Amino acid sequence: MIQIKSDKKIMSEIENILLRKRNFVSKIPEKAVFLFSGGFDSTAAIAYIIENWGTEIFPLFINRGQSNIEYEKEAVKHFEKILIERYPDKFNKVKEINVNIPAIEIKKDIPKKLQDIIGHPMRNPIMELYGVQYASTLDSVKTVLIASTPTDNYAHSQLATLRSLTISACMGMDDWNWQITTPLKDPFLGKNISKKGLADWAIKNNFNFDQTRSCIENSKTPCGKCVACKHRKEIYEL
């Protein structure tokens, strides 16, 4: 099986297509849709790019049938208020859509072994394409951002996957100005930013992220054992 995340040749070929068609791979946008879950990565990354890029953010929250929906929505509402107060001209009200990803008729049949390797098949790419649909309703927005960090290992979180989705969006929208990427590990947008680096920035800039929601379990208190909780520990341990 080809491992896209480590195949530099494939990445180079994809980027060369983008360069030939539009003379850039990724660029800092004036406006962007940001997939916002209320988790640490997306919440802190939104604050980071508003502060450092001056980008206007249109946050999109997807109620996709996640088990922790009650607690994610709680975190989204909490930080929506904080971000609007802190960045009134740069952070817009959260747009929420309701769509099951994966479809409930399919989700129950996905083998656990497969989920352990790649997560829910194509979950993130489908969410990002919903981001493109939302962006198409806005004025002059042709960027969709996610908060994938350098240590996110699922195939759907890799930069090569985001590059291929960018080409898909450009072709599907018949417009080569579209981009789907992450501000945390795209070399054309700046240096890699780890969870710990993002947390250090947030602390330095008085951005309290304690009430972000990372745990995937349906419990008010984070379980401390799921993949998301283990990743969150990187903030404090690295």
Question: Residue 187's pLDDT is what?
Answer: 96
The residue type at 54: G
206 CB burial (10 A radius; 0-12, 13-18, 19+): exposed
Quick one: pLDDT at residue 71? 86
pLDDT at 233 over 80: no
Cβ neighbors of 74 (< 8 A, separation 6 or more) are 38, 213
What pLDDT is attached to residue 224? Answer: 67
Is there a contact between 44 and 204 (Cβ–Cβ < 8 Å)? no
Classified as helix, coil or strand, 61 is strand
Q: Say what percent of the chain tops pLDDT 90.
A: 66
In angstroms, the CA 21 to CA 33 distance is 23
Token output for 116: 């352990």
The distance from CA 181 to its chain's CA centroid, rounded to whole angstroms, is: 8
With 0-12 / 13-18 / 19 or more C-beta atoms within 10 angstroms meaning exposed / middle / buried, residue 180 is: buried
pLDDT value for 229: 65
Out of 64-73, 78-87, 164-173, least confident range: 64-73
Antiparallel, parallel or unpaired: β 143-145 and 95-98? unpaired
- Note the pLDDT of residue 207: 93
Q: Mind spelling out the 3-state secondary structure of 123-140?
A: HHHHHHHHHHHHHCCCCC
Give the chain's domains with CATH numbers: 4-18+28-237 (3.40.50.620)
**Angle between the 159-173 and 8-22 helix axes, to the nearest 10 degrees?**
30
Pairing of strands 179-181, 143-145: parallel
d(CA 209, CA 40): 7
**Reported pTM:** 0.91
For position 67, what pLDDT does the model report? Answer: 80
DSSP state, residue 91:
B
Tokens of 43: 């919440």
What's the pLDDT score for residue 225? 67
Residues 49-69 pLDDT 10s? 999 999 999 999 999 988 878
Residue 146 CA to residue 160 CA, distance in Å, equals 14
Percent of the chain residues past pLDDT 70, beyond the cut? 89
Please report the pLDDT score of residue 135 as a whole number: 98
What pLDDT is stored for residue 221 in this prediction?
Answer: 75
Of 10 and 162, the one with more pLDDT: 162
The pLDDT, as a whole number, for residue 231 is: 67
Q: Which helix (H) or strand (E) holds 212?
A: none
Task: Give the 3-state secondary structure of residue 46.
Answer: helix
Model confidence pLDDT, tens digit, residues 35-54:
999 999 999 999 999 999 99
CA-based nearest residue to 126, from 145, 107, 101? 101
